[in-house]
Chain A
C-alpha cells in the first residue's frame, strides 16, 4: 500500500467533458444550409460528438499513471487537454506549470530542420531559456544514440526509430513536473526501450508525475502504479495497476467456446 500521509495531487481533473463538432467545419453547403435555417427560423443543426464525459481523477507526484482504453475511447483528447493544447468544454483541470507532452513520435518536429535544431526548438516551446537548452543538449544527444552526422541531417530523412530516439531524448533531458508519453515506444528497439524504462523510473523516483500510455500491457504493468480505464469517453475504473490491467484484459478476451 502507498504511504498513508495525505499528498497533494499534482494533476486534478474534475468532471472534464469535451465535445467536438463533426463533419466539415465550414463549407458552401453548410453556409447555404445555415442561411436557409436562419430564414425559416429553424435551429441550426450541428453534428456533435462527446469525446469525454465527466472524467475525474487525480495523479500524485512520484507516480506513474496509465490510461487504458481502445482507440476512440478519448485518451488522446484527454491528454491534449492535460497538455494545455486545448480546453475542455466542461469541468476543470489543474496541472503543474511545466508539462512535457510527447503525443506523437515525429510529428511535432519541423521536417526541414535537423536534429539539433529541432531539439532546441522544442526547448523553446517549453519556455526554456537558451542557457537551459544548451546545458541539456550534450546529455540529450548522447542519450539519443544519434551521432553528429545524423543530428545534422534534416529530420525528414530520419527513420521512425530515429525520430522516436530523438523525441525521447528530448523528453528525458528537458525539465518538467509532468511528463506525458502517448504511444511513443512502439518504434524503438528493445535496448532503447529498456533505457527509456530506466529513465522513466528515475523520473518517478525523483518525485515527478508521469502519464504513460501504451498498448503494451507488460510495459505498462512494469512501469505504472495506478491507472484509469477509459471507455467511450467515460471513466470505467480507476485503481492499482495489476487489478486494473487484469480487468481490462478480461473485458477484451474473446468469449470462451461452449464446452
Chain B
C-alpha cells in the first residue's frame, strides 16, 4: 500500500466517519451526551478509589484534575481500539462487493473517535483555570502531542484490524486487554508512585510514555524517561509493522473475511 493511497482515500474516510458517527447515536435517548457522561463517570470512580481509598500522590496536582487528563487520553484510545479492531469485519459486505481502499475504514474509525478526545480535552482545559492553575508553557506542544497520539492509535488499529480479518481471536482479546489496561496504564496514578521494579515494568507499556507526556503538556508534571523512550521509539516501529502487514494481508481480505 502506498502512502498516496492513504491520502487519496481521505475523502472516503471522512464520509465513512460521518456515517459511523451518525449511526453510533441512532435510537439512543441521550445521544452525544454520552461523550461527556462516560469520561466524567470514569473520573468519579478513579477519584473515589485512587484518590480517596489508595490516596495516590499526584505531584502537587489536585487528584481529580490529574486523573482527568488520564481519562481524556484513555477514553480516546480505548474507544478507538475497541471499534477499530473490527473496522473491516463490520464492513464485510462492502469489502466483498465494492472495490475500495480498505485503509479508509481504519482512518474513518480514527476520525469518528476524535470527539472522544475533543470533548474530555475541552473539559480538562476548562478545569485547569477553574482549579486556580495556569496552563504551562509546555501546552504549546499540544498539537504535536495530539498528532503523536493519533499516529499511535492509527498504527495499532491498522495492525489489529488487519489480523482480525483472518483470526477473529484478536477482537476477542481486546476487551480483556483494555480492562487490564485501565490498571496497567498510569491513568489514575503517576509512574513515579510505583515501586522501582514495578515502575520499570509499567514503563514498558507503549501507552505509558505518551500519557505521561500529555500530563507534562497540560499540568507540567515531568514524564518518566524510560516510558518516554519506549513509547516514542515503539510508535514508528508499530507503524512500520502495521503498514507492512496491512499491505500483505489487504489484497486477500475479500477471500478470508
Contacts and interface: CB of A to CB of B under 8 A. Distances in A.
The judgment on whether A and B are partners is yes
Interface of A: 20-21, 25-26, 80, 83-87, 99, 101, 103-104, 107-108, 110, 112-113, 117, 120-122, 124-125, 127, 129-130
B19 A108 contact: no
Given A85-B254, A86-B251, A108-B94, A121 B19 contact: yes
Given A25-B256, A26-B167, A125-B99, 19 more contacts: A21-B255, A26-B166, A83-B99, A85-B96, A85-B97, A85-B98, A86-B253, A86-B254, A103-B97, A104-B97, A108-B93, A108-B94, A110-B23, A110-B94, A112-B23, A113-B23, A121-B15, A124-B11, A127-B12
Interface of B: 8, 11-12, 15-16, 19, 22-23, 26, 93-100, 166-169, 251-256
A84 B99 contact: yes
In the A-B complex, list the 5 residue pairs whose CB atoms are closest, starting with the nearest.
A84-B99, A86-B254, A108-B97, A124-B12, A124-B15
B251 A120 contact: no
Given A20-B255, A113-B19, A130 B97 contact: no
Contacts of A21: 255-256
B100 A86 contact: no
A80 B253 CA distance: 12
Nearest to A154: B26
A85 B91 CA distance: 13
B20 to A, nearest CB: 10
B19 A87 contact: no
Given A99-B99, A110-B19, A130 B11 contact: yes
Contacts of A101: 97-99
A114 to B, nearest CB: 11
B251 to A, nearest CB: 5
A122 B98 contact: yes
Nearest to A18: B255
A85 B254 CA distance: 7
Contact of B11 (A99, A110, A113, A129): A129
A219 B78 CA distance: 53
A110 B12 CA distance: 14
14 contacts: A25-B166, A26-B166, A86-B252, A86-B255, A107-B97, A108-B93, A108-B98, A110-B23, A121-B15, A124-B16, A125-B12, A125-B94, A125-B98, A127-B12
Contacts of B26: 112
Contacts of B255: 20-21, 86
A86 B252 CA distance: 6
